[in-house]
């Protein structure tokens, strides 16, 4: 068996087209142009690439951006003061702090300092809580992107066993909350495996849909996958490779060459979850701007329908 590939780039392009139309409509009806503020602390090269990708994607759909770069030695208090300014600035609708942060800056305190109505990363405790109780406002971008890519690929989740490897605040935990929602695009039985899990392969082999967010290059091997399962790869790692022009190749948390022979559907790295994460940031930014200027738009809708506007 060779698994069918999920085209994350293609699906992300479709999402961007929808956002572009939404941005144009909002501008036509209200004169407001959505604006996203991105805060980067320190000079992590991977974060720098992600931030530039987000700026470019925003521009491509008509969303304005303001990026603020702070030195690695900036204090937590200074980061929070900056967030206070961005929260107070009415021209800014979405605020995102790129992770990871330097050791001395507490990500929870930073997430809590973002105005929850501008929290396009969905990491403020209010938004985490709303997702958990089944009334999501902003769903974190990677889980939202995974859900959308499954829907678009015709992979149903209802009644399936979704095993998520990884319990991070940004992927594993919110994805578990999302996949257990009572909604057609979720309604799964969810298991979260983590570093405390014993006999990991026994757990992962029970997955109909296996999500790898373990931060270990090619850590998920074919023997850990049930034949015909769906494999979603959240990891991105650079592996040295002298045969490549750049001197490296990108791999995920799944051993793609092995697992593609066992799974029925697989998301590649690059070109899988990554572009979806960026596209869902644009969805959340448009939503933040719309909620700021047209709050009535959202009153009568089921919360999850807001997230899946085009799914029907
Ligand atoms: N670092 C890696 N992925 C993400 C993301 O989705 N949001 C933020 N803020 N930082 C990240």
Is residue 216 among the annotated active site residues?
no
Å from CA of 99 to ligand 1 middle: 5
> Which residue has a Cα nearest atom 8 of ligand 1?
98
Is residue 246 among the annotated active site residues?
no
Is residue 181 among the annotated active site residues?
no
Å from CA of 67 to ligand 1 middle: 14
For residue range 244-287, list pLDDT tens digits in order.
Answer: 999 999 999 999 999 999 999 999 999 999 999 999 999 999 99
- Identify the bridge partners of residue 97 per DSSP, sorted by sequence position: 39
For residue range 13-62, list pLDDT tens digits in order.
Answer: 999 999 999 999 999 999 999 999 999 999 999 999 999 999 999 999 99
Per-residue pLDDT at 300: 41
Per-residue pLDDT at 294: 77
Å from CA of 97 to ligand 1 middle: 8
> Which residue has a Cα nearest atom 7 of ligand 1?
98
What's phi and psi for 60, nearest 5 deg?
Answer: -65, -20
Q: Please state the atom number of ligand 1 nearest to the C-alpha of residue 123.
A: 9
Residues with a CB atom less than 6 Å from ligand 1: 50, 96-99, 121, 141-142, 170, 277
The crossing angle, in degrees rounded to 10, of helices 8-30 and 141-152 is 110
The sign of the dihedral angle between the CA atoms of 118, 123, 128, 134 is positive
């Amino acid at each position: 068996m060779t698994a069918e590939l999920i085209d994350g780039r293609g699906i992300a392009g479709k999402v961007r087209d929808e956002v572009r139309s939404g941005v144009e409509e909002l501008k036509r009806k209200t004169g407001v142009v959505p604006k996203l503020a991105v805060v980067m602390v320190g000079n992590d090269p991977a974060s720098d690439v992600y931030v530039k990708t987000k700026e470019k994607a925003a521009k491509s759909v008509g969303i304005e951006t303001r990026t603020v770069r702070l030195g690695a030695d900036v204090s937590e208090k200074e980061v929070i003061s900056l967030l206070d300014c961005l929260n107070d600035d009415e021209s800014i609708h979405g605020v995102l702090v790129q992770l990871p942060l330097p050791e001395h800056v507490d990500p929870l305190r930073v997430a809590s300092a973002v105005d929850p109505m501008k929290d396009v990363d969905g990491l403020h405790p209010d938004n985490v809580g709303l997702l958990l109780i089944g009334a999501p406002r902003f769903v974190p971008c990677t889980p939202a992107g995974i859900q959308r890519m499954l829907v678009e690929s015709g992979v149903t989740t209802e009644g399936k066993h979704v095993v998520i490897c990884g319990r991070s605040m940004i992927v594993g935990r919110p994805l578990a909350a999302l996949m257990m929602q009572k909604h057609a695009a979720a309604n799964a039985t969810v298991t979260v495996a983590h570093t405390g899990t014993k006999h990991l392969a026994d757990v992962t082999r029970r997955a109909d849909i296996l999500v790898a967010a373990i931060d270990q290059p090619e850590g998920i091997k074919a023997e850990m996958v049930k034949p015909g399962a769906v494999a979603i790869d959240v990891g991105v790692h650079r592996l040295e490779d002298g045969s490549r022009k750049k001197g490296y190749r990108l791999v995920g948390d799944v051993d793609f060459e092995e697992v593609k022979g066992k799974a029925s559907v697989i998301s590649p790295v690059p070109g899988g979850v990554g572009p979806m994460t960026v596209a869902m940031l644009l969805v959340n930014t448009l939503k933040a701007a719309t909620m700021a200027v047209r709050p009535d738009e959202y009153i009568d809708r089921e919360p999850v329908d807001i997230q899946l506007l085009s799914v029907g």
